[in-house]
A and B are shown apart, each in its own frame.
Chain A
Amino acid sequence: MSERVYTVVPAPRREAIRSMAKRGERVDGRKPEEFREVKLEVGVAGNADGSARVTLGHTKVIVGVKASLGQPFPDAPNAGVQIVHAELIPLASPIFEPGPPDENDVELARIIDRGLRSAPALKLEDLAVVPGKQVWRVFIDIYPIDHDGNFIDASGLAAMGALLSAKIPKVTAAPDGTIVKAEEKVPLPIADIPVFVTIAKIGDVLVVDPCYEEELVMDARITFALTRDNHVCAIQKGGRGSFTPEEIERALEMALNVAPRLRSALENLRQAGAPQSA
């Protein structure tokens, strides 16, 4: 329940970054509305049913997807199960400590979960094999391995990359309820491809895709998950500062502008894959 102790930025450096922001400049030379170069690789973890590694500047995130048959949740007996887990492991940064998930791990997992669920990314109803009894349970495990800011957007991309590249056994339920797993593998049923875009507020300036130093000096951040048809399917404000309503509307506009480029890599994956149900 307490704040994670972040490494402190020395006051002069802090002031320098904030003055640069005022002049429309950023520590890594980007423009305020500029997203860093994104690299997306899939199939990086061969025992997973789907996996992806996203590199965003120096930030690196690996996501693996594993699906197994099991019971549905009691309140949604006719739908598959989506479980998102994130762990800010100490390998990725000296500011992360070993131990059970803390509020930052939980927040990251829950933002991604909400965005995927509201879009929706997975057609959960297509993942029920024997409704009420046997459904696919899809685990999405997020592991940042190098930290240079903006884990949310990188994790969202890697999660979608892993889902889009995943293949699960084709199963059929016999009339007596027994389930037969075929050798044949099929992709997961994908309905939409949400992307996450985070905007940081530094003084009065909004910047897209903050790097780590910017996160340390920012006042607040706001993340939008955006569907293909430009709906907002999740929002999360973070940080100790506040936004005016106008700033929020401006941030949303910035997010809508960069979303198509982020999504394009994922769309490519999709076209490369097997025929999809949506």
Chain B
Amino acid sequence: MNIKSVKSQFPIFKKKINGNSLVYLDSANSSQKPKAVINRLSHFYENEFSNVGRSVHSLAVTATNRFEESRDIIKNFLNAKHREEIIFTKGATESINLVASSYGDKFMKEGDEIILTELEHHSNYVPWHYLRDKKKAVIKFARLNENLEIKTDEIKKLITNKTKMIALTHISNVTGGISPLEEIIDLANSKKIPVLIDGTQGAPHLKLDMQKIGCDFYVISCHKMYGPNGLGILYGKKKWLDLLPPYQGGGGMIDEVKKETITFAETPTKFEAGTMQTAEVVAMGEAVKFIESIGFKTILDHENQVLNYALEKLKKNNSIKLIGNPEKKASVLSFTIKGIHPHDIATILDEDGVAIRAGHHCCQILHEKIGVSATARASLGIYNDKDDIDVLDSSIKKCRKVFNI
């Protein structure tokens, strides 16, 4: 992969940060956007804009076609079996809320159990917490091992005949650890327990195949995979989506509305209430094309090289403590420096144009477990290279100077 040419497709890198080139290491938070995606948005608004599916004039026909083409592009990208398995949402967070609400309403009762892990993002806990409140359900957290990895056995231990859902992350947004999905889903399937995968960090970094993964639900945020803001994807097995009640109510998702009764459309329509994010959906098709134009294998190889280079380099730096040591790992690197709070690290790094994130990364349960309230996190995207890591490394060294330690 020619990293220079990839990077040059992202306009933001022309920008200087405090006089320095931007070293963007915050892609786990949100990725930057390639020119093609930004242009697709503008082009759509300038030449093709209309609401979809609700008018029969030419613009609306074009817009509807573009919208539904994106659904097909994403269906193929994820290798879903049916196009009706692809639902557009506001983001991964909404996708999980949708499942927790619709699935929970229909299939859960008092005392039923949900298994999560200590690694989950708040987005994959708070919606289940609502369900716990509403249905008097029980949430069990699978414990992580000393490397902060999810282990199938820890999940297995928690399964009872009341287990009604297992929800876990594909890749941790703190440790970068990749979960053993195959094992866990095999286990769950054997007990007929549905599995939701929080793929927010998985989708940008791994080649996905829904039919092979075999999970019941998989959620994605487009803004983390070079796509536009404000758009998410919910993949769900058709058998579930056919059964689940709709989530939000409004225009577009109904079959027939009377004063006493309402009947609903079928999937995916029944889950897409109100005017959809037409422009964003169309632009997301372009983001997928961008990813495919480089190829997932190339992306993985490149990101792994940079990640390994970074691990090597940072491990040499004695003042740094890495968070978690998962065997299988992708694209995320969290750390602490003794005596310097992550927020202060982030501020000092920013001086050199290095953008990292500091905080609990919406994983307070994990941070409580490791006994720190915040960590610093560098995370990779397709546009990062070893030079970025060199700047990161020397910038980290500067922190100790500023703090006189």
Interaction A to B: no
